[in-house]
Structure 1
Amino acid sequence: MKWLTLAAALVGPAQAALRFGCSTVSIQRLDPLVQPGITPSSHVHQIVGGDRFNASMNGDIGEEGRCTTCTFSEDFSNYWTATLYFKHTNGSYKRVPIMQNAALPNGINGGMTIYYTQQDFNTNGNQKITAFPKGFRMTVGAPTVNNLDQAKKNVGLRFVCLADKNTRFPETPDFPTKACKGGIMTVHHFPSCWNGKDLDSPDHQSHMYATTKEAFQAAGPCPASHPVRMPQLAYETLYDTTQFNNMWPTNGANPYVLSYGDAKGYGTHADYVFGWKGDSLQKAMDNSCMFNACEGGKPLKSQGVAAMNACQVKSAVKEDIDGWLPKLPGM
């Protein structure tokens, strides 16, 4: 009996691993974390998730949200990244459209693939995972990063040159150096160790600590300063660059630029505001399901693609972000 008790303790609880799609809820110049209350913000973002996204993001968005673009209908969180533009040799810019991941249901309007994993891509893990609390927010990466050495140190912030939508390697810390047959994917892994007290910090990062390893590998243990293990949150965004492949500059220079003017990709970054309804995320983290097996009320409520695509947030900024532009919006 003692042996059985010890074995149970060693195995520990089985936690869920979530992978799901969120269609685009808005593309506009708002940034309620880094530039709260400012309309417009300095550069364009692509946002997915709940319809409470706005310039300030106050209140409990999990309870106040009316719709969400995510598969799980209890997830009113917002997830966003800088958009990608193609720079023509004549100096004009065109926004690169977003496409859905191959692992997701057909028909999703652009969007992202969102992950909440506990150990790695292939297993649930066996340690207690604490869901993000109400009011929690964070960022990863920084647009001020301007050199390759620092970009390499930002483990988990990477680009993939796609042969097709199933391509996952190699991951690079900067933009591809050639035209990619299937498009470009950006990957953003957030830190998963929390200090256990602060919902945010002045730089939106210090309350968290990253033990992240590359490509969905199991993260290292949390330090004493940030002892609480939370879900490993990650985004994948696929950009359909194929329409620009025949416009690649003859001198071989990279023609892509992130919406804040980064032509290398070193400063790639992402933002997160928690907005799961009630204790739904914790219920999922305490469950043993993986990926789409967590849908349909087992344990999370889910919705179809039509409902995801129908949820939209109107732009608070009246400007053209999609035509051939003489300069990047806000620049």
Structure 2
Amino acid sequence: MQWLPFLVLALSSLSSGGLLRFQCSQLVVQRLDPLVDPGLVPSSHVHQIVGGNSFNATMDPKKDMPGESTCTTCSFSEDFSNYWTAVLYFRARNGTYKRVPQKTQIDGGVGGITVYYMTDALYDTTQKSKVTAFKTGFRMFVGDVNARTKQAVSNFRQLTYTCMKDSGTRAPESLEFPNQPCPFGIMANVRFPTCWDGVNLDSPDHMSHMSYPANGTFESQGPCPASHPVHTPQVLFEVVWDTKQFNNKADWPTDGSQPFTWAFGDATGYASHADYVFGWKGDALQRLMDTSCVVNCPAANPKTQSNAKMNACTQKAVVKEDVDGWMPSLPGGHMAKYS
């Protein structure tokens, strides 16, 4: 991205804590969701998954994920975590649906996610906070798949969209899908909570063991609430959906509504959500967060891998169905809805 070299120059001489920014190529696209629909094959809607190749329908928390995986699609070869989001679809004027591809910065890649781990806000050149890395078995979810109004998503303002004019566009951000064609694509931004209760690696809703700051925000260095006193890294996903091929308004719905919908039928954008299952090997993440480093963190001697190895780590879909062609309805029978 265009701003990255300047960010690196600014932070490399000033930072005292870790800021990781790295790519993960696509592992698989299919209807599996071991957090929301554990053991259900297929799950309710299509996801795109990146990370370790031990991803499965149940993801037993008692198992050692790094030990279970034999490869990872992420550039840090010790990161066998899994990161996933719903898939975006285009709804044409004739009512059919087509999957929107993702842009990737990985040579030879077919999709993926840009992942950040931060001790402080992205543009904070000090990166001075101390954080506690997640533990083996940790997992979390953020968002509300049933949200269809701005009020319903008010607790998740950290889930936003950016209508990109070019590769460097990062503002403005909105809670709903952009209602105009975006020249470069639509970026979906997902910011997970940063305060942990210090006890539970998960919770029934996969959210209650985590919290946003008691007041203020992560960016303003708001304090963690007493109920969730442990400061963890901020995990941020950037997913760039390549919407350019769908920017002809003659193909958009005749009522003038924007044409994009999540795989589960949300056409408002308010129901954006994402899942995270921790899988870093040993103390690799804590070591990186404790070291003055930026992006690839050479001072911490991280183990990285080539784009070719990232792309070679793939998984065959367990659910055999068409998720890419023009379809009369979304996989799982969903239809685009605005309420």
Give, in angstroms, the shift of residue 125 of structure 1: 2.4
Summarize the Cα distance change of 1:259–1:281 in structure 2 as closer, same or farther, 3 Å threshold.
same
SS across alignment from 2:153: helix
Summarize the Cα distance change of 1:77–1:166 in structure 2 as closer, same or farther, 3 Å threshold.
same
**Counterpart in the other structure of 1:189:** 191
**Counterpart in the other structure of 1:39:** 41
**Counterpart in the other structure of 2:265:** 261
Summarize the Cα distance change of 1:211–1:107 in structure 2 as closer, same or farther, 3 Å threshold.
farther
**Counterpart in the other structure of 1:119:** 120
Query: What do residues 238-277 of structure 1 show as CA deviations (whole Å, max 9, x unaligned)?
Result: 0001111112335421110000000001110000000001
Give, in angstroms, the shift of residue 107 of structure 1: 3.6
Q: Could you tell me whether the CA contact under 8 Å between 2:119 and 2:131 is conserved in 1?
A: yes
Summarize the Cα distance change of 1:181–1:72 in structure 2 as closer, same or farther, 3 Å threshold.
same
Q: How many residues align?
A: 314
Give, in angstroms, the shift of residue 193 of structure 1: 0.2
Q: Could you tell me whether the CA contact under 8 Å between 1:16 and 1:124 is conserved in 2?
A: no
> What is the distance in 1 between the residues matched to 2:106 and 2:41?
34
Q: Could you tell me whether the CA contact under 8 Å between 1:121 and 1:216 is conserved in 2?
A: no
Q: Could you tell me whether the CA contact under 8 Å between 1:189 and 1:212 is conserved in 2?
A: no
Mapping of 1:172-183 within 5 angstroms? 172-183=174-185
**Counterpart in the other structure of 2:86:** 82
Under a length normalisation based on structure 1, what TM-score does the superposition of the two structures give? Answer: 0.91
**Counterpart in the other structure of 2:72:** 68
> What is the distance in 2 between the residues matched to 1:138 and 1:150?
20
Q: Could you tell me whether the CA contact under 8 Å between 1:15 and 1:128 is conserved in 2?
A: yes
Counterpart amino acid of 2:262?
L
Give, in angstroms, the shift of residue 91 of structure 1: 0.9
Give, in angstroms, the shift of residue 144 of structure 1: 1.2
Q: Could you tell me whether the CA contact under 8 Å between 1:87 and 1:94 is conserved in 2?
A: yes
Query: What do residues 92-148 of structure 1 show as CA deviations (whole Å, max 9, x unaligned)?
Result: 100000112xxx454433100000011111335223210000000000001011211
**Counterpart in the other structure of 2:308:** 306
Aligned-pair identity in percent equals: 53
Give, in angstroms, the shift of residue 213 of structure 1: 9.7
Summarize the Cα distance change of 1:205–1:249 in structure 2 as closer, same or farther, 3 Å threshold.
same
Give, in angstroms, the shift of residue 185 of structure 1: 0.6
Summarize the Cα distance change of 1:219–1:106 in structure 2 as closer, same or farther, 3 Å threshold.
farther
Across the aligned residues of Structure 1 and Structure 2, the Cα RMSD in angstroms comes to 1.8
Give, in angstroms, the shift of residue 325 of structure 1: 0.6
Q: Could you tell me whether the CA contact under 8 Å between 1:158 and 1:173 is conserved in 2?
A: yes
**Counterpart in the other structure of 2:111:** 110
> What is the distance in 2 between the residues matched to 1:21 and 1:131?
19
**Counterpart in the other structure of 1:21:** 23
Counterpart amino acid of 1:287?
T
Say yes or no: does 1:131 pair with 2:127.
Answer: no
**Counterpart in the other structure of 2:256:** 252
